[in-house]
Amino acid sequence: MIFRKLSKTAFVAVLTAAIFISAFSVDAGSLNDRIKKGDSIRIGFANEIPWAYPGENNKPLGFVNAYILGVLKTMGYTNIEPVVTEWGGLIPGLKANRFDIITGGMYILNSRCQNIAFSEPMGQVTDAFIVKKGNPEGIKDYKDIVKKGAVLATGAGYNTIEAAKKEGVPADKIMVVPGPTEILAAVKAGRAAAGGMTYFTALNLAEESNDAVEVTDPAALPDWTLNYVGIGFRKTDKDFLKKFNEAQKKYLGTPEMMESVKEYGYTKSQLPGNVKTEWVCNNR
């Protein structure tokens, strides 16, 4: 037994930690309970320009943050607390009650639907690669990466990891780094031939790179890489999610909403249409 190998002091420490974690979980409660107590709604996001990113004093910027602040406001909620983390920590942080909602611009994927609940889609977005200016290796899609034995850089927790493997890219040719800054650095330094990410993120990195990289045509990627963006919730907060979806249905695509996201590049072409989360969870 493992406890027999622990000293008395260590055993007490483990027991105390277990009691603390249990107490914390109970105290965390549902999002509805937190709101009733007057607690803030904690929104979690990473530094993913222009999706969601922190401004001065962690002010929530980006089109997904602007969008969700608008939806919550129509619901009567303005007591919002931003929580910034790395992309790979969003789902674990949500499940661990570090925050209540993921606003980071997360694709609805079957693998993610197993762990969290998503709102109905708020957008549809394609992926793309960044490559060195002029695309010297001629990489347009995942098959080109396979043929050339090239390295693809992408972010921890990104959907492009699954997509690359599905298209036959060997695991040892997928360089997983923390986020966009590191992807750009890998491509510029030649450690990766391409960087995989959302089209919005790729455009932003190309602009930041001072003409060092360019963005490939997203239409060159398979049709199934067209993805739908949702807001993430804990599965235990489905009552709140139901109210959120009702408010979102009235807000999505309104002039007020479109004006709030305009500066970040979100346009009517990104509206999701009539696609439902249940379908997306089963088909992406």
**Mean pLDDT of the region 70-88:** 95
Under the banding of pLDDT at 50, 70 and 90, the label for residue 269 is confident
Residue 15 has pLDDT above 50, yes or no: no
Under the banding of pLDDT at 50, 70 and 90, the label for residue 28 is low
pTM above 0.85, yes or no: no
Cα end-to-end span (Å), the chain: 43
The domains of the chain, with CATH numbers, are 10-124+229-283 (3.40.190.10), 127-225 (3.40.190.10)
CA separation, residue 6 to residues 2, 16, 20, 92 (Å)? 7, 14, 19, 29
pLDDT recorded at residue 4: 31
Query: Contact, 280 vs 130, CB < 8 A?
Result: no
130 or 19, which is more confident: 130
Q: In sequence order, which ranges of the chain are alpha helices (DSSP H)? A: 8-28, 31-36, 63-74, 90-95, 110-113, 142-148, 159-166, 180-188, 199-208, 238-251, 255-261, 277-283
pLDDT recorded at residue 223: 87
